[in-house]
Amino acid sequence: MATPNHPGNHDHQSKELPQVLVLEPPPIMKLHGDRFLNDFQLLKAWESPLPLDQFLSIHAQSVKALLTPGRYPLTRNILQLLPSLQLVVTTSAGLNHIDLPEFQRRGIAIASAGDVYSEDVADMAVGFLIDVLRKISAADRYVRKGLWDTKTEFPLGSKLCSKRVGIVGLGSIGQEVAKRLQAFGCRIMYTSRNKKPSVSYPYYSNVLELAADSDVLIICCGLTEQTRHMINKDVMLALGKEGVVINIGRGAIIDEKELVQCLVQRELAGAGLDVFENEPHVPRELLTMDNVVLSPHRAVRTPESLTAMCEHVKGNLEAFFSNKPLLSPVMNI
């Protein structure tokens, strides 16, 4: 029998820990390592010299839970290699990397990020809007380039208060955005899959009508086949020459080529973009526009939100292996 200090004792304990497959390291591991998951045996696919399909075949019969940051598509092909899989925990705010119908067919549960990121993403959306309207980033560049003491006049910004803000997707993030902008004196309206009986904001059943009545569109919804390129040329033209688009959802919700054209042709006043259609590639035209504010898909990432996500992931895994309800279920088994 192994003594408490015998190396074999640790091996025996690790074999008894619940196994969690990790295909690629999530951002929370880059910040905190994997100490927060000491109660689980992590099967790190990226550390194996084996091709992914061989690595998965070795653990196919034993792995019941998978942790994913959302970059790796979880499709039927992957699921066929994991016949015992019962749960996926995703640290991504979106679910567009998951084949939801296939998960449902197989009875695999999904635990989402829940509302862990909602406040930070909402803060970013408001920051983008203030920056675009008041030209903060452009003013910063103007001063740094030494243009203040020249005769070139810096253009005026636009007032935030009283703006008509159309929110596309009034989920937890959209509601946090609405709450913040209401405090600034903005008029809030929205479109969503369904009308929300808990809020009094005017509801629009389609985004084109919402855009026509708005000064600003803020994209807060997830990417699905229904929302891909939902913000098209018609919607942007309806928003108008004084209109501003903020996207903290997913890049492909906006038809990016049409967005660039509308900005180049001054059919829109400006944009704030945290996400893009083909990340990390950003259209060259956007890089020189002073009325566009760009960010490298960082709306969800603050030390505070990543620390909270560690606890959230741990809580979902503990609940699953204890046969308790998940903290943030998307689909239950």
Kindly name the residue from 119, 250, 256, 301 that is annotated as catalytic.
250
Q: What is the mean pLDDT of residues 97-125?
A: 96
Rama region for 314: left / alpha / beta (φ>0; ψ in -120 to 50; rest):
alpha
Q: What is the pLDDT of residues 9-54, one digit of tens each?
A: 444 444 589 999 999 988 888 888 899 999 999 999 999 999 999 9
Instruction: Compute the average pLDDT of residues 257-286.
Output: 98
Active-site residue identified among 47, 279, 304, 311: 279
- Does 250 qualify as catalytic in the annotation? yes
Distances in whole angstroms, Cα of residue 322 to Cα of each of 48, 86, 316, 318 = 29, 13, 10, 6
- pLDDT tier for residue 213 given thresholds of 50, 70 and 90: very high
pLDDT given at position 331: 59
* Residue 72: predicted pLDDT: 86
- Other CB atoms within a 10 A radius of the CB of residue 206 amount to 10
Task: Establish whether 297 is a catalytic residue.
Answer: yes
Average pLDDT over residues 116-130: 98
Catalytic residue among 24, 164, 297, 318: 297
Which phi and psi (to 5°) does residue 34 adopt?
-115, 20
The Cα–Cα gap between 123 and 153 comes to: 30
Segment 213-228 mean pLDDT: 97
* Residue 237 neighbours by CB distance under 10 Å: 17
Burial class (CB in 10 A: 0-12, 13-18, 19+), 115: middle
- For the chain, the average pLDDT equals 93
pLDDT digits (tens, 9 = 90+) for 126-146: 999 999 999 999 999 999 999
DSSP 119: H
Rounded-to-integer distance, Cα 156 and Cα 135, Å: 8
Q: Given pLDDT bands bounded at 50, 70 and 90, which one contains residue 322?
A: very high
Q: Please report, rounded to a whole number, the percentage of residues in the chain having pLDDT higher than 90.
A: 89
- Torsion of Cα atoms, 293 then 296 then 300 then 302, to 10°: -100
User: Could you tell me which residue, 151 or 184, shows the higher pLDDT?
Assistant: 184
Q: Looking at residues 274-281, what average pLDDT do you find?
A: 97
Tell me whether residue 281 is one of the annotated catalytic residues.
no
Alpha helices in 280-321 (DSSP H): 284-287, 303-321
pLDDT recorded at residue 128: 98
Interstrand relation of 216-219 and 187-191 (parallel, antiparallel or unpaired): unpaired
